[in-house]
Structure 1
């Protein structure tokens, strides 16, 4: 049963940087890598089951003050995107900040089997226009005193790495003070390294709106113990990462979903995104603090005939590991921004073309594992972090569990496919949709939400 609730908007305002952006930084060109992205907002929800309603307004004020301070570092996010000039006007117009009251307790929204379609009211509605802010925040206050922060950031100049860097700096500033933000200054010079292109190749994105299909979403948790057991099942276990092991098991289940639908094994591909920071050649001055969409897709193929018409976990994880290893090696080859763009563009084009083949089933994966996605603003880490779909999309998102040892997967599939996936024997054996895998349940019980 989906929770019933009503939500009332109490206020809307724009939070501007605490100090003006210097004139020489007012014009920020996006990069050719950013041009490859869809004009969407990436929405995450951070849930805090607090029980003191008297402090919610005070906490909101702290959030706003620290946000204003952090925007002096992430100054393009307080600007506006000018499409015909392919640039961010860093005009300090600010980010949207909404306060809302929710007539309901937070508890029903902590359930891992909650369909993420029911979360849309907790985010400021964002559709890109010349006046749209690049960041929007909604502070949702529940009857029990719990809060949920809905954060939307434009994909124009932000990938998962930058998203996590932003929320980590913001929460640190709120919790400890702006002077305690010890991170290196974020760099917004990617547009100089890989300049915008007046003519972009026409490539159909892999993940794009499908208004004709209905999707369902659910969250599955791979505990540290489950991942250890997967490692023992994989041959050559020492070489595989947590993400590779979990990706392979999910892929195996998805292949069997397609087999159940079509009556036979079908060729399958997955596209995974990897962070290119720290993996490019020394000729490219891309630092670990560079902001922008510094990522590229990795294409992995499963061909039934080559696998003896069998779906074996250890073979799939070897395919995933091999493809990622080769991709990382390729990232070191480009010697300039043009080479870098052509490599990334070629990878996107190949993945898009492969995914559109009629006989192939394809799935899109992305991961934030290893990135700080549990921000502590001064009242503890969120007990739940989730996201809603940006549009009707089939996507698999991997992120760390709250304790940092396991992997939580947010999976969105065609509505008729989800029950088959949930009943897959491997998914049932290695995952949980319950909260007993860590201390989330005890935190929830203490919160009285």
Structure 2
């Protein structure tokens, strides 16, 4: 399987993060934890086109407003996330095979190609918060590869982010509104 990178860009939130939310302190456990990248790949057997790609990017821009730490950078001292709106690395690739052929084969190392950037930086994750790789297959299917820093989100938090991005890409206006305060223990629906 051959994967060709077609584009790479930085996706930023459409509205700047409020100044009082600029610095998100990490919990004690996150501060002392090793910088671990968590990887996910979502497969969709649908006909894709340029319009779908544009809609995913636009909805990611809107989703990052509510999930602003993903658009920030971890600071070297691992004490906090600078929610500076630097954005998310976003790749689009063309995969020269059919999605069904990838899923049927026995060599699961091929899946790593759907997260090229994350695999290259796994040894030295640095200040990475989130990377998205949108992979278009010859058959029209897509695979959305994502990796995020475990220092700023656990798996449940990432699922909430991804679900909110999905809802936004469908054009719905009610998405989950995250709370990044450790004292907050609930996810509440919010408008817009």
**TM-score by shorter chain over 0.5:** yes
Instruction: Name the structure 2 match of 1:76.
Output: 69
CA RMSD of aligned residues (A): 1.8
Which residue number corresponds to residue 158 of structure 2? Answer: 163
Which structure is higher in RCO with an 8 Å CA cutoff and minimum separation 6? 2
* Residue 102 (structure 1) aligned to one of 89, 95, 101: 95
Distance 1:85 1:136 in 2: 19
1:63-142 equivalences in 2 (<5 Å): 63-84=56-77, 86-111=79-104, 114-126=106-118, 127=121, 128-130=125-127, 132=128, 134-142=129-137
Give the distance between the partners of 2:16 and 2:38, measured in 1 at CA.
26
Structure 2 counterpart of 1:23: 19
Cα separation, 2, equivalents of 1:43 and 1:173: 22
Who is 1:148 aligned against? 143
Partner of 1:288: 186
* Unmatched runs of 5 consecutive residues or more in structure 1: 191-284, 291-449
Give a deviation string over 1:56-99, Cα, whole Å, max 9, x none.
Answer: 21111111111110101000110000022511010100001101
1:34 aligns with 2:30: yes
CA distance in 2, matches of 1:155, 1:85: 12
CA contact (8 A) 2:67 2:178 kept: yes
> For residues 6 and 40 of structure 2, what CA distance do their matches in structure 1 show?
21
What residue number does 1:423 align with? none
In structure 1, how many angstroms separate the alpha carbons of the residues matched to 2:87 and 2:42?
21
Contact 1:124 1:136 in 2 (8 A): no
SS in 2 for 1:92: coil
**Relative to 1, partners in 2 of residues 1:37 and 1:115: Cα closer, same or farther, differing over 3 Å?**
farther
The count of aligned residue pairs is 183
Please show how residues 332-371 of structure 1 align to structure 2 within 5 Å: none
Listed as ranges, the matches of 1:167-206 within 5 Å are 167-177=162-172, 179-181=173-175, 183=176, 185-190=177-182
Please say if residues 114 and 135 of structure 2, whose CA atoms lie closer than 8 Å, have aligned partners that are also in contact.
Answer: yes
Paired with 1:109 and 1:129, the residues of 2 have a C-alpha distance of 31
More strand by share: 2
**C-alpha distance in structure 1 between counterparts of 2:10 and 2:106, whole Å:** 31
TM norm structure 1:
0.39
Q: Is the 1:56–1:141 contact (alpha carbons within 8 Å) kept by the matching residues of 2?
A: no
Counterpart of 2:40 (choices 34, 38, 44) is: 44
Task: Name the residue aligned to 1:219.
Answer: none
Whether contact under 8 Å (1:14, 1:97) holds in the other structure is yes
Q: Verify: 1:62 aligned to 2:55, yes or no.
A: yes
Give CA-to-partner distance per residue, 1:391-426, whole Å, 9 cap, x none: xxxxxxxxxxxxxxxxxxxxxxxxxxxxxxxxxxxx
Consecutive unaligned residues in structure 2, runs of 5 or more:
none
Partner of residue 235, structure 1: none
1:10 maps onto 2:3 in alignment: no
Decide whether aligned partners of structure 1 residues 124 and 187 sit closer, same or farther in structure 2, where only a CA change above 3 A counts.
farther
